[in-house]
Structure 1
Amino acid sequence: MTSPRHVLAAIPIVVSSFLTCCSQPSSAPETAGIIQYQFAATPSWQDEFDYTGKPDASKWSYDLGDHGWGNNELEDYTSKIENSKVENGNLVITAIKEKSGKANYSSARLVSKGKGDFLYGKFEIRAKLPSGRGTWPAIWMLFSENNYGNKGWPDNGEIDIMEHVGFDQNRVHGNVHTKAFNHSIHTNKGNNLIVPNVSDDFHIYSCEWTPDTISILVDGNSYFKFAKESSYQWQEWPFDKPLHLILNIAVGGNWGGQKGVDDSIFPRKMEIDYVRVYPLITKK
């Protein structure tokens, strides 16, 4: 999306497993026996949310608006502290049933663009997700520059580290979107996974991104990997340019609202304990 998120509701493969938390960080596998990619043990960019008040302005900005974000979403994204605040060691994003702008719901969408733009690395976000029909939380990455094609999305790439829709509790999704592989032409690449108690417990949602692969993990367990093939050009693999992080809760929309919105559930919160980015280390 030029800024909206485009996501496929139906993912081709379903994997179910009971997950247990694993330690971080991990190493990516050796590539072709020549280059081995690893990630530093110390983050180069992080927010531990060990303060109180609005999100750190040196790390986060807001996407604002009530225009549907390309997905017919129903919320108005605001910068109000009621929709995004830091308290008790967590970032709390709250979707509220209220009149806001032209919308009947308010929420927040935080972005690191211009303050945290990354080329490769391991991204870890420890979060507890909202529940309830009509919620659509996401932890994802979008291009920071318009380098490829004639438009922003999907040509310049999107990585969905975690998406969840409230009508399908305890299932999380990971996807990539490019010009060649995206839901609008029924070619997107992704997978989904049953994760127990996503709204009761914190889980670690991760992405390991190297020049050759993108892996999506939950609690250290990889359930989707997208590999760069030798024939790929930018249409298949635009992931050699910087991306930034986005944290948000949408309400309704083409996917989140497929089974309607239960207004009795609001307010609904996504709590984030930390965001950590570990830089890539290349060894030959």
Structure 2
Amino acid sequence: MNAITPAPRHWRQLLPTLAIALTACGGGTVTAAPASAPAAVPAPPSNWTLVWSDEFNGAAGTVPNAANWTYDLGNKEADGWGNHEFQYYTADARNAQMDGAGLLVITAEKAANPGPCWNGAPCGYTSARIHTGNKVSFTYGKVEARMKLPSGQGIWPAFWALGADLATAGWPKSGEIDIMEFVGKTPNTTYGTLHGPGYSGAQGIGKPREFGGPVANDFHTYTVIKRPNEIVWQVDGVEFHRLTPASLPAGGTWVFEKPYFVILNLAVGGDWPGAPDATTAFPAQMKVDWVRIYKEN
């Protein structure tokens, strides 16, 4: 496993170098001397160093890189993924493939009985859920993805992380960091949420990020910054949510000082988004430009 665990270091905002522009002008018969070319201003040093990424530059029709990603499969086998969802996750290229133009496209589509849903009925949709478990993890640093989300009632794309000890600790003791969740019934809003012992499920500590217009209209960059005893959420580089152990409810346990792995998925239906309706367009596509992990300098 490619565990990324840089030594903790308190972040400091670097001050940008300021350049002063001088202007010369002449009047009458006086000719101004040629101005010297301004000295090049070096870019301020970055606080972040890229340590892992998937840029999804594969040929059209190729599936996610097996060195980075593993598929979660099924529905009934996972009890509806804990949310009574309607999609059956597959490893079929129809549901997750490169488009040949630098994007991973995760597609949810209507399907005739791809497998059983949690309620014993045939699932009505297929989709994909991929993760970096046992392959790539991070303890501290910045994790982000640039994505264009699908819209529609019952559509539920997500970019999130689970504790690498999930198999032994179980959920919610493993902890869950929802970097970005979107449900079609609130088209102008995404959500960042933390789940752990004493604050899981509907009691997760979340915050909406309002866009002032449909989220699905464009690509956006969704980010979480994870430091010792602090987690920060950003959209397009602007912070909207921050939590520390002091943010937890009484009896809650902070379980985030350990490795986490990354998940991308596109769900259909479930307890939170509700069922698709006649207005929901299929296929629905979640387009991912890249996923990147940085360490803090």
TM class by shorter chain equals 0.7 to 0.9
Tell me which amino acid in the other structure corresponds to 1:154.
P
TM-score of the pair, normalised by structure 1: 0.80
* Distance in 2 separating the partners of 1:231 and 1:105: 37
Q: Gaps spanning 5+ residues in structure 2: where? A: 1-7, 13-45, 117-122
* Distance in 1 separating the partners of 2:232 and 2:184: 24
Distance 1:229 1:54, change over 3 A: same
Residues 145 and 221 of structure 2 are in contact (CA less than 8 Å); yes or no, is this contact kept in structure 1?
Answer: yes
Alignment of 1:128-207 (within 5 A): 128-146=148-166, 152-184=170-202, 186=203, 188-195=204-211, 196-207=213-224
Q: What SS does the corresponding residue of 2:111 show, helix, strand or coil?
A: strand
Instruction: Find the structure with the greater CA-based Rg.
Output: 2
User: For each residue in 1:182-229, what CA deviation from the matched residue of structure 2 results, as whole angstroms up to 9, or x when unmatched?
Assistant: 235x3x211001123421210000000001210111001111100123
* Distance in 1 separating the partners of 2:53 and 2:90: 23
1:95 equivalent in structure 2: 108
- Confirm whether residue 255 of structure 1 aligns to residue 272 of structure 2: yes
Residues 40 and 278 of structure 1 are in contact (CA less than 8 Å); yes or no, is this contact kept in structure 2?
Answer: no
Structure with larger RCO (C-alpha < 8 A, sep 6+): 1
1:21 equivalent in structure 2: none
* Distance in 1 separating the partners of 2:247 and 2:267: 37
User: For each residue in 1:9-46, what CA deviation from the matched residue of structure 2 results, as whole angstroms up to 9, or x when unmatched?
Assistant: xxxxxxxxxxxxxxxxxxxxxx9xxx623685331110
Residues 210 and 280 of structure 1 are in contact (CA less than 8 Å); yes or no, is this contact kept in structure 2?
Answer: no
- For these two proteins, the number of residue pairs brought into alignment is 242
Distance 1:262 1:43, change over 3 A: same
TM-score of the pair, normalised by structure 2: 0.76
Greater Cα offset, 156-165 or 43-52: 43-52
2:75 equivalent in structure 1: 66
Residues 230 and 243 of structure 2 are in contact (CA less than 8 Å); yes or no, is this contact kept in structure 1?
Answer: yes
Residues 56 and 102 of structure 2 are in contact (CA less than 8 Å); yes or no, is this contact kept in structure 1?
Answer: yes
2:128 to 94, 101, 108: 108
- Confirm whether residue 272 of structure 1 aligns to residue 285 of structure 2: no
* Distance in 2 separating the partners of 1:64 and 1:217: 30
* Distance in 1 separating the partners of 2:249 and 2:171: 18
Percentage identity across aligned positions?
40
- Confirm whether residue 36 of structure 1 aligns to residue 10 of structure 2: yes
Tell me which amino acid in the other structure corresponds to 2:84.
N
* Distance in 2 separating the partners of 1:183 and 1:58: 31
Tell me which amino acid in the other structure corresponds to 2:104.
L
Q: What SS does the corresponding residue of 1:138 show, helix, strand or coil?
A: strand
Residues 54 and 81 of structure 1 are in contact (CA less than 8 Å); yes or no, is this contact kept in structure 2?
Answer: yes
Greater Cα offset, 37-46 or 166-175: 37-46
Deviation at 1:180, TM superposition (A): 1.9
Tell me which amino acid in the other structure corresponds to 1:193.
R
Tell me which amino acid in the other structure corresponds to 1:101.
G
* Distance in 2 separating the partners of 1:197 and 1:124: 21
Q: Gaps spanning 5+ residues in structure 1: where? A: 1-30
Distance 1:171 1:230, change over 3 A: closer
Q: What is the root-mean-square deviation of aligned Cα atoms in Å?
A: 2.3
Distance 1:60 1:147, change over 3 A: closer
1:223 to 221, 225, 240: 240
Residues 132 and 261 of structure 2 are in contact (CA less than 8 Å); yes or no, is this contact kept in structure 1?
Answer: yes
Residues 155 and 235 of structure 1 are in contact (CA less than 8 Å); yes or no, is this contact kept in structure 2?
Answer: no
Residues 126 and 205 of structure 1 are in contact (CA less than 8 Å); yes or no, is this contact kept in structure 2?
Answer: yes
* Distance in 1 separating the partners of 2:166 and 2:63: 30
